[in-house]
Structure 1
Amino acid sequence: MIKAVFFDIDGTLVSFNTHKVADSSKEAIRLLKEKGIKVFIASGRALFLINNLDDLEFDGYITINGCSCFINDNGNIKEIYRETFDKNDLFSLNDYLKTDKIPCAVITNNDMFINYQDDTIKHLYSMANVQIPKTVDLDDYIKNNYNDILQLNIFTDENKEKYLMDNVLKNSKSSRWHFSFADINPKNSGKDIGIDKIIEHFGINLDETMAFGDGGNDIGMIEHSALGIAMGNANESVKKIADYITDDVDNDGVYKALKHFNVL
């Protein structure tokens, strides 16, 4: 019996075309809660960037790809878990960026900063309907705030991403839901770890969980949960490991999968 359902946001609950949650998904979440099933967000976004779920309420939030997890205690949002970077990785990144000035953003629980931006960067953030980070001297920011940084966005291709992970960010891991950039997080993080922290808090077993996603950063939780659902618009790598492939986000995919497994 499913007691907890975890939802990615962008491309899963929220359409990239409309930037809105489908009415059928809203109805599905309402029905889940009516049945006493817990509903959770599992996103690459920081909590302060979750601005596109209308008035939907959730029982908890896995944010920044599992680096910061929250529970909703009668409207009081409380952090129950946090994972930060090995500072050696961040200092190595500083050294690297002195010779290869690729765009790089840092994300904390409260803000975002980037070393520089151009029209492409602005377009990518607007595509996800996310505010453009403040431009700062990243070298100085990292040196003074490394304990607050929970995620990096590296705007480069997969070949350079691999080089960075092998030689610069050795104690971190990467995932990619868009070809233009990679999310970089501490090695001991992930939406799958976030699921474990959340269900431990609520006394729910892993075999009572279900997860929906579409991007590379969803693979861990889709493999980890008892039922892992890939959206019809998901990356092929996500579809390969999913227990079930539902319809697109724009074609009631969430609702249809919940009905298929008789969760609704």
Structure 2
Amino acid sequence: MGNKVIFIDVDGTLVNYENVLPDSAVEAIRMARNNGHKVYICTGRSEAEVYQNIWDIGLDGMIGGNGTYIKSGDEVVFHQVISKEESKHIVDWLHAKGLEFYLESNSGLYASEHFEEVGLQTIQEYTNRKGRDGSQVTVRTIFPEMIFGADLYRDDLNKVSFILKSYNDYLEAVKEFPNLKVGTWGGAGETALFGDVGVKSIDKGKAVDMLLEHIGASIEDTFAFGDAKIDIPMFEKCAVGVAVASGGDEIKAMADYVTDAVDDDGIYNAFKHFGLI
């Protein structure tokens, strides 16, 4: 087998919804890289939310912010942030609506004034929906390096996530920010728990294209691993799409292969199945 380029989503794919990284996934990635393959995480997280235990696996780089940030080795290939004016507009609008939020940048995750207490129930519900026991998780266990009490007017934002009081909050955000990409996560439609606002006209698939061009690799040599709808552009772009069994129905329906759940050695077993290790 020739050298491949492997893109792995983080939440729900590389780690479970309690942020646990299986030893088998670490072993698989290290073995694959020893075999000459390149491995990048491809995630909605900003670099500040990629904690040291993930970098310690050994990676070739990352796509972050759902495509707004690309790093290969120590080189930043691409980075597009929300403008300072747009960022202020988002913060002011969320404050006026009484919605708690956190700002996502490579320098840190910055929480709104009452995000920790308001977000507790939401984070627990999100964990429950993913088939895990959310009763013991807290905002600080899910976001261990979140920054509280900082200035919320920033010029380095990749995206902003906010807690939905109702689905109508998302619909109003779509109208309020026509020049930005507004989405939801933590459920589909009326069951969504969070809204998010980010850079328009960029996604994981487009970022894969840019990274491959930078490193001189071919689409024919790519694998994508994911668990959710946000990973679909990555699956559409890459030669082989692998969904974890613990993922959503939409991503599993379009996958070329469905591996075991995160906690059942899904990454390791898929790498073995495809001869990457």
TM over 0.5: yes
CA shift at 1:210, angstroms? 0.6
1:112 match = 109
Cα separation, 2, equivalents of 1:248 and 1:104: 30
> Residues 230, 126 of structure 1: CA spacing in aligned structure 2 closer, same or farther, 3 A cutoff?
farther
CA drift of 1:34 comes to 1.8
| Residue of structure 2 in register with 1:65 after alignment | 66
The answer (yes or no) to whether the contact 2:48–2:105 under 8 Å persists in 1 is no
- What residue identity is the alignment partner of 2:107? N
**1:204 CA displacement:** 0.5
Gaps of 5+ in 1: none
Larger mean Cα displacement after TM superposition, 78-87 or 186-195? 78-87
Structure 1 residue 112, shift from structure 2 partner = 2.4
Change (3 A) 1:184 1:13: same
> Following the alignment from structure 2 to structure 1, what is the Cα–Cα distance between the partners of residues 148 and 3?
41
- Secondary structure at the residue paired with 1:204? coil
The answer to whether the 8 A contact 1:71-1:79 is kept is yes
Mapped contact 2:4–2:221 kept (Cα < 8 A): yes
Q: Secondary structure at the match of 1:99?
A: helix
Deviation per CA, 1:6-50: give whole Å up to 9, x if none. 111121111234x33222212211221122111111122221221
Alignment of 1:121-160 (within 5 A): 121-122=119-120, 124=123, 125-126=139-140, 128-136=142-150, 138=152, 141=153, 145-146=154-155, 148-156=156-164, 157-160=166-169
Query: 1:57: how far off?
Result: 1.0
Which amino acid in 2 is paired with 1:131? Answer: E
Deviation at 1:193, TM superposition (A): 2.1
Report what 2:177 is aligned to: 169
Q: Structure 2 vs 1, CA of residues 226 and 104 (structure 1 numbering), >3 Å: closer, same or farther?
A: same
Return closer, same or farther for 1:244/1:192 CA change in 2, 3 Å cut-off: same
State the distance in 2 between where 1:248 and 1:98 align. 38
Task: Work out the percentage of aligned pairs sharing the same amino acid.
Answer: 29
Q: RMSD of the alignment, in Å?
A: 2.4
Gaps of 5+ in 2: 124-138, 188-192
Deviations 1:62-111 (A, max 9, x none): 11211111111xxxx22110112256644543453353111122222202
Distance (Å, rounded) in 1 between the aligned partners of 2:101 and 2:232: 23
Distance 1:171 1:93 in 2: 12
Q: Which moved more, 1:177-186 or 1:209-218?
A: 177-186
Instruction: Report SS of the residue matched to 1:53.
Output: helix
Give the alignment partner of residue 83 of structure 1, picking from 64, 67, 80.
Answer: 80
Name the residue aligned to 2:44: 44
Cα distance between partner residues in 1 of 2:144 and 2:68: 19
Paired residue type of 2:23: D
Query: Across the two proteins, how many residue pairs are aligned to each other?
Result: 252
Deviation at residue 149 of structure 1 after TM alignment: 1.5
Distance change in 2, residues 1:132/1:30 (3 Å): closer
Give, in whole Å, the separation in 2 of the partners of 1:16 and 1:6. Answer: 19
The aligned residue for residue 241 of structure 2 is 228
**How far apart in 2 are the matches of 1:130 and 1:206?**
36
Contact 1:60–1:198, Cα closer than 8 Å, also in 2: no
Find the aligned partners of 1:231 and 1:207 in 2 and give their Cα distance: 21
Say whether the 8 Å CA contact 1:207–1:226 is kept in structure 2: yes
Selected match of 1:206 from 207, 219, 229? 219
- Pair 118,23 (structure 1): closer, same or farther in 2 beyond 3 Å: closer
SS in 2 for 1:79: strand
